[in-house]
Structure formats: structure tokens, C-alpha cells
Amino acid sequence: MHDTIAYNSMIAAMGSGGQLCEAEKIFEKMPERNIISWNSMLSCYTQARYLCRAKCLFDKMPRTNEISWTSILQAFEKSGDIEQSMFDRLVCRSCVAWTALIHGYARLGHLRDAEDTFQRMPLRDLHSWSLMIVSYERNEKLEEARRAFGEMPEHDEVSWNTMLAASFRIGDTVDCLEKLVASMPKSLSGCWVLIAAWSKHGQTENAKKIFDESLARGEIDGYCWNAMLGAYVQNGQGLEAIEIFREMICHGAKPDEASFLNLFTACSQAGLLEESRDNFVSMLQDHMMKPTREHFGVMMDSLARNGRLEEAKEVAEDMPFKPDSVTCRILLGGCKLHRDEGLAKAAGESAIRSAAQEKSSANYVILSSVYQFANSSL
């Protein structure tokens, strides 16, 4: 029994660390397996998005439970592949399983199927209601989103923000958004959507007025800080965005990935390379956050635009992600701007490899840029 628990822990640890081969070896040599062993290995496959292996393992399982079914359904939903037949085989359908199916239909734009599944749910939680609002928003069905919101038995912070986002993205006026924010519970802050609305029209002064008033009332949360950061970045006011980030830290607010992405973009707009690098290190060391591909991309773009092409290339080579078409475009843009034919050829070779692997139209644009650059250098 103790050996099985130890094996299960090792499989889970290997899966979380991305060491799938090691997890498989441990699973295969286990003298005895229980349902937790099978679910742990299944989770390893679904986390790595190895759907064929996950499905094969699932079919071999001597018995399954709610965790097994939820895991496999969520894996297929995230991949955009709806497994209705698997859902139909599920005897005890949890709210999570129903929601996974709805989410899958919504991601594919199958609104009618999402609605039908939602109506069939025996019990609905706040997440499933919010998911239907998101589904309507993606299909620009504002009235349907309002109806679903009104029919909810109760509202939490997520559902309020989901409704605010739907109203903003589909195109509600600032006046309508102000009325919606005014109807929110006093414990929640909706100022972020008003900031975003004014920013969308280039009126950062009005956005800042809303922000300052909310700050004075103590109604600022992470959404509001990020909205104000994004407002300045969206309108090319890098220095103002950097100042907002500093205020955010001084007020004890905790920045997230979106905060740092806006900060790096602001530093790039303002031409503050060294400050951008310092903040990148701070993100890792002070805030214990792992930069995403987008964070590395902004850093590369900032370096490339300022002629530090070799450093941009080093960032591309050292980041824990495989270079893609966006990486190639960033490097090529810098090469064309600063007339570096040698690095352009190297970036072009990467573009050729990406074009073969990704098969995206963007890569053909990259290749065209490579040829144009090479011809203009002759």
C-alpha cells in the first residue's frame, strides 16, 4: 500500500514537471495500481495534451470514476475536439463534466449546441451560468447575455465581471456601462470597464479621472490597475503607464502577468531598455513569476527596435519556448530597420522551418520579407 502511494506521488510529480517519459516508466513498473495510479497517469497525458495516449489509457482503465471522466472530457474540450459520444457514455455526470461540454461547444462557435446542453443540465452552478454569458458574448448576442445574467439565481464577482466584459466588447455605450456599474454591489469594483471604455476612444484623461476617484474611495482592485496600465499603453503613453505601475507597487497591489506585459510594452514605447531588463529580472526574482512567450516577445521587440539585435537573438535562443513565426517576425523587423543582412538570413532560415511546421499564412509573409530584404541589400 505504501509503495503504491509513493509511486502515485512520483507519477504526479513527474507529470507536473513535464517529465512524461519518466512518469510512463514509473507507471509501467508499478507492481500494483489503484484508481489513483491510473488517474495520475491520465492527468500526465492530458496536461501534455497527448490526447491519443490519454484516450488509449482511458479505454484500458479497469474502472473509472468522476475524476477520470472529467479529466478526459476537459482534455478534449481544451483541444477543441468535442467528444459527445464519451459524454453520452458517462453515467454520473458532474456539473464540471457538463460545463466542459458547454465550454467545448462555445470555443467552436456552436452556440445552439451550447444552449441545448445548458438547458439539459440538471443542476447549474455559477461557473456554468457565467460560461453561457461568455458564449453569448463571443457570438455578439448582448440581449441573450443580459437575459442569462438576469436569470442567474445569484451573482458573484466573476459573473459581474463577465457581464461587464460582454457589454464592453459587444459595444455598449459608456452611459450604459455606467448604469451597469452603478447596479453592482458596493463590495465590488467595476471601474475597470469604464477605464477601458474611455481608453477605447482615446480619452485617457477621463479614464484617469475614473481611476483616481475609485482609488480615493478605496475601490481599486487588480482589474482596475491593469485597466489603467492598459489604457496608457494602448494610447502610446509609455511613461504614464510606468508611473501607474510604480503606484501599484507602492499601494501594495500585486501585479500579475498582464501587469508585467503592459509594463514591458510601456518601457519599449518609452525606449527605456535598461528599465525593461530590470523589471524582467524583478518579475522572476521579486515576484516569483515565470515570463510567458508574450513577455519574451516584447523584450525581443524592444531590443530589436533599438538595434541590439544580437541581444534579441540571445533572448530568442535562451527562452524556454521554441521560436515561432512571431519570433522570426520580430527579428526580421529589427534586421530590416537596422540593415543587418547576416542576422536576417539566419532569421529567414528559422522562418522556413517554422513555415514547414506551422503551415500558417503568417510565415509566408515572413518569407516574402526575407526575399525582399535580401534583394534590397544587393
Decide: 88 and 117 in contact? Cβ < 8 Å: no
pLDDT, residue 113, reads: 86
Whether the pLDDT of residue 31 is over 60: the answer is yes
Cell of 372: 525582399
| pLDDT tens digits, one per residue of 93-123 | 677 778 877 877 877 778 898 899 899 888 8
Q: Domain limits of the chain?
A: 188-278, 292-378
List, as one string, the DSSP characters of 149-172.
Answer: HHH-S---HHHHHHHHHHHHHHT-
Q: How does residue 378 score in pLDDT terms, banded at 50, 70 and 90? A: very low
Give the C-alpha distances (Å, rounded to integers) separating 49 from 21, 76, 125, 193, 294. Answer: 14, 9, 27, 34, 21
Decide: 61 and 68 in contact? Cβ < 8 Å: yes
Decide: 138 and 115 in contact? Cβ < 8 Å: no
Task: Determine if the pTM surpasses 0.75.
Answer: no
Q: What is the DSSP letter of 203?
A: -
| pLDDT tens digits, one per residue of 254-286 | 999 999 999 999 998 998 989 999 999 999 999
Whether the pLDDT of residue 374 is over 70: the answer is no
| pLDDT tens digits, one per residue of 215-255 | 998 888 899 999 999 999 999 999 999 999 999 999 999 99
pLDDT, residue 76, reads: 72
Hey, what amino acid is at 183?
S
Whether the pLDDT of residue 372 is over 80: the answer is no
Once rounded to an integer, what is the mean pLDDT over residues 10-20?
84
Tell me: domain 188-278, CATH 1.10.287.1080, correct?
A: no
Cell of 213: 476617484
